[in-house]
Amino acid sequence: MKRALVLATALLATACGVRPSDVILGGPAPTATSTIPVFWVSDGHVTPVLRPDSGSGLALLATGPTTAEAEQGYTTEVPAGIVFGTAGSTVTVSVDVTSLSTNAVDQIVCTAATGDVTLVGGGQTRGPLTCPVG
């Protein structure tokens, strides 16, 4: 009886139901995708949305929210067709900077992400400005 109990215990311990197999090779390890914040307007407030890093957040800002972002309620107050240029902490825009709404200015300053930013456009200057979104 004792021998049968030992044998049954040994069989239960070794018979877990998983059959041996050859080594299974996986694919390449996943890589992290770098992202950058682009600042949109949601419920009247400027808020960051992470986008895959494609080089320039300002270029992404100029194209406006994606369809998916718009469906989530994100909008922009940055004028359509705006063109940006950067030189250090100065961002040149293709419109008169005094015509930009407070949210549009904040979207640009926050997306530029260079600390203090001075906006120049239409013969006018605004700044240096700091992103108010913490």
Q: What pLDDT shows up at residue 55?
A: 80
Q: Give the residue extent of every domain in the chain.
A: 31-129
pLDDT digits (tens, 9 = 90+) for 42-54: 999 999 999 998 8
> Which pLDDT does position 7 carry in this prediction?
47
If you average pLDDT over residues 16-45, what whole number do you get? Answer: 78
CB half-sphere exposure, 116, CA atoms < 13 A? 3
Q: Are 61 and 77 in contact (CB under 8 A)?
A: no
Q: Which range (20-29, 78-87, 112-121) has the least confidence?
A: 20-29
